[in-house]
Amino acid sequence: MTKGEMLYEGKAKKVYLTDNSDLYIVEYKDDATAFNGEKKGTITGKGQLNNAISTIFMEMLNAQGIPTHFVEKMNDNEQLVKKVEIVLLEVVVRNIAAGSLAKRLGLAEGTVLPKAVVEFYYKDDDLGDPLINDSHIEVLELATPEIVAKMAEYGRKINEILVDYLKARKVTLVDFKLEFGITPQGELILADEISPDTCRFWDADTNEKLDKDRFRRDMGNVEEAYQEMLRRLGGVEA
Ligand code: C5P
């Protein structure tokens, strides 16, 4: 596989063309940002850790029948993925109140929600990824109602799979963000990553945070938390 021109550079990843027009290479970076890019930093080893962690989750979801863009992990920082057009909607699924939900609804962090909440955010850095509803999505023509319904359904299904998988590894899944893409053949598949950058993971016994909140809140031991997550998932510590 030959790495071609860089197609896109995001906050945490770079995407490259390859000599196969159906495949992209994703390179995971050590850069970390929070609060829509207002807080910037580097987490040593984060690229390798998130590449390894996301590989484990994507392979597991593929095996459980969830279609994803993941093809294979190529090396420490790179993975091969299917080419998709990213839907400009972020799907957030929440089991426990934290972050922006706790703030918006005035709920104490840690409040267990009676059922999972699914939210859509408009993927637009200039606007700060605002929360949007079905009517907004329709008016902005971001996705058809069928695609939106399918994304919500996948979100709930993936949540069920991840909650059980993580519970067995002594991790509570608080919330997480998913992105989806559409293949050239028109199939909706899971894209992007599943990692401590995009999920809130709490130790099941102590509620210790094992995710990017440690960076957002300057709690220290960020790299150690990501390493601990990889260890619990059965991956080799970076
Ligand atoms: O900040 P908020 O509480 O809305 O985040 C909900 C979940 O979505 C968290 O797990 C967070 O890491 C993730 N998220 C993300 N990328 C964003 C916004 C949120 O991965 N742009």
Looking at per-residue pLDDT, the higher value among 37 and 142 belongs to: 142
Mind listing the pLDDT tens digit for each residue in 93-152?
999 999 999 999 999 999 999 999 999 999 999 999 999 999 999 999 999 999 999 999
Say how many Å lie between the CA of residue 83 and the centre of ligand 1. 24
Give the residue whose CA is nearest to atom 12 of ligand 1: 198
The closest-lying atom of ligand 1 relative to the alpha carbon of residue 36 is: 21
Question: Given a cut of 90, is residue 90 above it in pLDDT?
Answer: yes
Mind listing the pLDDT tens digit for each residue in 14-36?
999 999 999 999 999 999 999 99
DSSP 108: P
Say how many Å lie between the CA of residue 235 and the centre of ligand 1. 24
Please tell me if the CB atom of residue 99 comes closer than 6 angstroms to any atom of ligand 1.
Answer: yes
Record the tokens describing residue 121, joined without a space.
Answer: 């955010």
In this prediction, residue 237 carries a pLDDT of 58
Buried/exposed code over 32-61 (b: 16+ C-beta within 10 A; e: otherwise): bbbeeeeeeeebebbbbbbbbbbbbbbebb
Residues 189 and 84: beta-carbon distance below 8 Å: yes
Is residue 162 classed as helix, strand or coil in its secondary structure?
A: helix
Please tell me if the CB atom of residue 119 comes closer than 6 angstroms to any atom of ligand 1.
Answer: no
In this prediction, residue 12 carries a pLDDT of 96
Question: Given a cut of 60, is residue 210 above it in pLDDT?
Answer: yes
Please tell me if the CB atom of residue 212 comes closer than 6 angstroms to any atom of ligand 1.
Answer: yes
Tell me the one-letter amino acid at 68: T
What percentage of the chain carries pLDDT values higher than 90?
A: 97
**What's the average model confidence in pLDDT over 51-64?**
98
Q: For residue 22, how far is the Cα from the chain centroid?
A: 22
Question: Given a cut of 50, is residue 213 above it in pLDDT?
Answer: yes
Mean pLDDT taken over the chain = 97
Beta bridge partners of 80: 25, 72
Look up tokens 């998913």; give the residue.
178
Question: Given a cut of 90, is residue 1 above it in pLDDT?
Answer: no
Q: With CA atoms as reference, report the closest residue to 85 among 180, 17, 155.
A: 180
Give the residue whose CA is nearest to atom 20 of ligand 1: 198
C-alpha 154/C-alpha 150 separation (Å) is: 6
Say how many Å lie between the CA of residue 98 and the centre of ligand 1. 10
Residue from 92, 120, 197, 217 to probe ligand 1 pocket by mutation (most atoms less than 8 Å from CB): 92
pTM to 2 decimal places: 0.98
In this prediction, residue 82 carries a pLDDT of 98
Question: Given a cut of 70, is residue 175 above it in pLDDT?
Answer: yes
DSSP 111: P
Q: State the DSSP string of 216-233.
A: HTT-S-HHHHHHHHHHHT
Question: Given a cut of 50, is residue 238 above it in pLDDT?
Answer: no
